[in-house]
Amino acid sequence: MQRQVLSRQVASTAADLEHLLAAARRHSRGGEIHVVMEATGMAWLVPTEFFRSAECRVYRVKADKAADFRRYLSKHTKTDEVDAASMARMRFVEPDALEEVHLRDRNRFALKQLIKQREDFLEDAVRYKNRLKDLLDAYIPGLSGLSNRLVEKRKFRSVLEKLLNLPWVQTMGRKRFHRYVGRRDADLKEGDIDRIYDVCIDSLALHDEAHVDFDVLQGQTINYAEAVAFAEAKVDELTQKIEAAYRITDTDQVLKSIPGVGKLTAAYAETYLAPIERFPDEKSVDSWAGVIPLTSASGQVQRKGLRMSKAGPPALRRVLYLAADVARRDDPQLAAVYRREMVDKGNPHTKAVVACMRRLLHPIVRLMRDRKLYELRDPEGDPVDKHTARQMISTELHVPPEIRRRLTQRREAS
């Protein structure tokens, strides 16, 4: 079969796209038309809808491959024409660099947009939390180790807004500071409040008020804390909308029958993995989701145990990780994977949960195909009820505390 590459510079208008499609049909002489695009922003969406409606196959070049390709071209001649012609040929030269685009129905489109918004606000929350932690570490260095916990506590943020005004803390005195903090965060232990006060007083001696404007620092802290609160409120709001949209998209909700998989994880899976028919097997899903280790081979030397490829959507991997950490406590098969990673292989908790995450992805894919409820099974594959499963996990499949301590100490030492 003769392969022809057609490259044209067009705008995303109906007239230009019709003109390009007509030219492609003339050159294809009745053959199948493949359209290859780089996923630049959202510029790919309109042409994708147009060409998919014209029964063409549409592909996007994977972002990491496109970045590598641009770096290579930047060393030599780089023009839009060279880019377009070379990327079009990737369909034949390196098909793994492409992913075929499948347009979602209206409900899944809504679900995907809600998830994208939620991810944006999650990033905002993390960014401003990190800035708060940086401020605490810089101006109250004695709080190191406690600052992360304080920033994460929503109740404590009203205290946090005042904390960097160190002269104010000194003026309050220990007793009044105790009462002030206690009224706003009753969960904080007295010992922690004493430590916070002492560290603030010690830190004040480190700073010269001629060079540090504590009122400005307090204002900066308030702005960051308000930004975190706004982002978290949006995350909560969007989480509710995502769960409601998921109930419409997946009426039977079979994915929720899997231990650890709630409405949010199920919604992410339905959004990122559908249509599941595009994956021929579980291995292809693992590869696409980026949960398989990288490979490195040269001659007869093969390196094993490398980090995950992380080729797929980070948002999907994050919710799968959290789900796997819950599921290993209820599912004997995942508990067996977790125990094997920690006890037999000596891997830390994080790496063991990643292995569970990879294993959890398989029943998610299977249920999306078959639409059947999940059935708990023991490590040998025999069905078990929830009570038997939990008893088995707590007795036969648990990780001994001394092994956890040893692995934790080894990680801290490294």
Q: Residue type at 373?
A: L
38: β partners: 61
* 334 vs 377: CA distance, rounded Å: 10
Is the distance from CB of 340 to CB of 350 less than 8 angstroms? no
Residues 378, 333: Cα–Cα separation, whole Å = 6
- What torsion do the CA atoms of 259, 319, 275, 116 make, to the nearest 10 degrees? 150
Q: What are phi and psi of 274, to 5 degrees?
A: -75, 145
- Cα–Cα nearest to 152, from 138, 132, 134, 123: 132
pLDDT at 278: 85
Question: What pLDDT does residue 177 have?
Answer: 93
Strands 296-298 and 34-38: unpaired
The predicted pLDDT at position 306 comes to 45
Q: What is the pLDDT along the chain (414 residues), one digit of tens a residue?
A: 455 556 667 788 889 899 889 988 888 878 888 888 776 677 788 888 899 888 888 888 766 666 666 666 555 555 555 566 556 666 655 666 566 777 778 888 899 999 999 999 999 999 999 999 999 989 998 887 778 888 888 888 888 888 999 999 999 999 999 999 888 887 888 888 999 999 999 999 998 888 899 999 999 999 999 999 999 999 999 999 999 999 888 888 899 999 999 999 999 999 999 888 888 888 888 888 888 765 543 344 344 444 555 567 899 999 999 999 999 999 999 999 999 999 999 999 999 999 999 999 999 999 999 999 999 999 999 999 999 999 999 999 999 988 888 887 776 666
SS3 152: helix
Task: Please compute Rg for the chain using Cα positions.
Answer: 27
Angle, nearest 10°, between helix axes 166-184 and 190-204?
A: 170
Q: Would you tell me how many other CB atoms lie within 10 Å of the CB of residue 318?
A: 15
Structure tokens at 324: 């796997």
- Rounded to an integer, what distance in angstroms lies between the CA atom of residue 93 and that of residue 129? 45
Give the burial class of 368: count Cβ atoms within 10 A of its Cβ; 0-12 exposed, 13-18 middle, 19 or more buried.
buried
Look at residue 308 and give its three-state secondary structure: strand
Cα(first)–Cα(last) distance of the chain, in Å? 57
The dihedral region occupied by 413, where left means phi > 0, alpha psi between -120 and 50, and beta the remainder, is alpha
The two three-digit tokens of residue 158, written as one number:
């009203």
Give the distance from CA 279 to its chain's centroid.
21
Residue linked to tokens 């692995």? 407
Give 34's strand partners: 57
Q: Is-contact 38 58, C-beta < 8 A?
A: no
